Amino acid sequence: MNVDESIHLLLLSPQVIPRSLFYRSVRMPRPILYTAEMSPPCRAVLLAAEAIGVQLEKREISIFNRDQLQESFQKINPQHTIPTLDDNGHIIWDSHAIICYLCDKYGRDDSLYPKDLERRAIIDQRLYFDCGILFALLRGIAAFVPVAPYPNVARWLKICEEELPGYARANGPGVKMFHEYFRAKLQP
């Protein structure tokens, strides 16, 4: 058995060496995430990457400078949307698709995105509800509604801040930018 066959066998046998550990140990290039810190879907990908333990190379796209419309970016993503992931030439856009892909490829286990179809269907149901209904309803108002009158929401946000890996790093600056930008636009 040559080295390539041995590596292939190890990759097919996750009980021997989990793929996430293998990819980290052989110094594979980091997946590249084209992102905008202010974007909630981009921050969702960053939070998932933190939870999974995969390091991403972040490339900031300024939506205000219309970087997503540049020819170089449109060659990567013809829909010119962010987030966009480039994992060694495999291009994926949409935060939900990226998160599921990262969980499947780099996750230590299936706790975030289960292999069991019934459990996975519940996760998918919630993801589709988020993108199809919830985000569409809330995107225009969420930044301006104080959470103090809603103790359950305030408690949930506090739990996120304290318990989600990398929450402050992946989410904090973008939330602040988002709030500042839109509040400035609403000033008379």
Cα 135 to chain centroid, rounded: 15
Contact 143, 179 (CB under 8 A): yes
For residue 184, the model assigns a pLDDT of 77
Helix (H/G/I), strand (E/B), else coil: 111: coil
**pLDDT on residue 138:** 62
Residue with tokens 């995969």: 54
**Which tokens in the block code for residue 80?**
């010119």
* Ordered domains of the chain (ranges, CATH): 31-186 (3.40.30.10)
Distance CA 99, CA 132 (A): 16
Which pTM does this prediction carry?
0.66
Question: Across the 188 residues of the chain, what is the mean pLDDT of every consecutive 10-residue run?
Answer: 49 49 63 92 93 94 90 93 96 95 94 94 88 64 70 83 80 76 74
Whether 62 is catalytic = no
What is the spatial distance between Cα 7 and Cα 13, in angstroms, rounded to a whole number? Answer: 10
The set of residues, in sequence order, having a beta carbon less than 8 Å from that of 63 and lying 6+ positions away, is 36, 38, 39, 82
Q: Quote the pLDDT of residue 164.
A: 79
Distances (CA, A) of 107 to 28, 86, 101: 15, 17, 9
What pLDDT score was predicted for residue 37? Answer: 87
Position 137 scores a pLDDT of: 60
Residue of 25, 39, 72, 95 marked catalytic = 39
